[in-house]
Structure formats: structure tokens, C-alpha cells
């Protein structure tokens, strides 16, 4: 069952400029693995932008899944490096969730059961886009109430 969906779009050149700026808030948002994977790509700027879009989309999906209640960890409390966008050996994107974010997500498994994340990343021309779907096998009687 889909319990949340988020989409985000990023201007690649603008994001690359922000990432390169001294003292940028984006300096610590990527894990070492994300950095290593991105710099090996033909277009590292597009890779970083798509990963940032995926992080934003994942948070949107998570916040939507928590509705109408507030998420146990507010987006402004996130350590973005605890939400990694990595690839498997076939290049398929997946989330790596650690730290406080993993603890907050695990606190909700009684409500949802085990959670799965489905990611799609793309970039074309000046834009990078990510779509993230959060799904779970929910317990009997579970009802999503988004009112």
C-alpha cells in the first residue's frame, strides 16, 4: 500500500553553485558514498542535484505518510547526511537511512509495519527530478486518514 509520495525538482546549475559556495549549508548534506558515486558520473552536478531532489522528495513522502499527525522528527531537525541516496551494483537508486532519522522511522513501524522506499531519479537539460514512493504492508484495519 502506498502511504506517501513526494516529488522534487532542482535546477542543476543553481544547485551546483550553492554546493560550491564556501560555507554553504549543502556542504555536509551528502554522505561519503554519495559524494564518491556522484563524482564518478559523467555529470557530477546533475547527480548531486538528483540526489538532493530525492532527499527532499523522501521527506515529503514521509511527512505525507504521517498526516494528519506531525512527523516524529520535523524536517528542520533532520541531519540530511542521515538520508543517503545510493545505488546498488546495477545502478538502481535506494535510500540509506541512519541516525535519528532511522530511529524516528522505526518508531512508526507499529503503525505501518516494515516500510519500503521506491525511488526514481532523472535529469535532462537544466533540471533534475526525483519521485519517491513510501509503501508498507499495513496491519489489518489500517486506514490512511488525510483529512
Kindly state the helix (H) or strand (E) to which residue 19 belongs, with its residue range: helix 12-20
**What are the φ/ψ torsions at residue 126 (nearest 5 degrees)?**
-85, 0
Kindly state the helix (H) or strand (E) to which residue 86 belongs, with its residue range: strand 83-87
CA dihedral over 104, 108, 114, 119, signed as positive or negative: negative
- The answer to whether the beta carbons of residues 146 and 5 sit under 8 Å apart is no
Cα–Cα distance for residue pair 73/100, rounded to 1 Å: 8
The CA distances from residue 141 to 112, 118, 129, 138, in Å, are: 11, 24, 35, 8
56 a known binding residue? yes
8 a known binding residue? yes
Q: Known binding site: residues?
A: 8, 56
Q: Known binding site for Mg(2+): residues?
A: 8, 56
Amino acid at each position: 500500500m502506498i502511504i506517501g509520495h513526494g516529488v522534487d525538482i532542482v535546477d542543476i546549475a543553481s544547485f551546483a553553485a550553492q554546493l560550491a559556495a564556501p560555507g554553504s549549508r549543502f556542504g555536509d548534506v551528502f554522505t561519503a558514498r554519495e559524494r564518491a558515486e556522484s563524482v564518478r558520473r559523467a555529470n557530477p552536478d546533475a547527480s548531486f542535484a538528483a540526489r538532493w531532489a530525492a532527499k527532499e522528495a523522501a521527506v515529503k513522502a514521509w511527512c505525507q505518510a504521517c498526516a494528519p499527525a506531525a512527523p516524529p522528527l520535523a524536517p528542520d531537525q533532520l541531519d540530511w547526511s542521515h538520508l543517503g541516496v545510493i545505488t546498488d551494483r546495477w545502478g538502481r537508486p535506494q535510500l540509506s537511512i541512519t541516525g535519528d532519522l532511522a530511529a524516528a522511522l522505526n518508531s512508526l513501524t507499529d503503525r505501518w509495519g516494515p516500510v519500503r522506499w521506491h525511488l526514481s531519479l532523472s535529469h535532462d537539460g537544466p533540471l533534475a527530478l526525483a519521485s519517491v514512493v513510501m509503501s508498507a504492508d499495513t496491519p489489518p484495519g489500517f486506514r490512511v486518514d488525510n483529512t
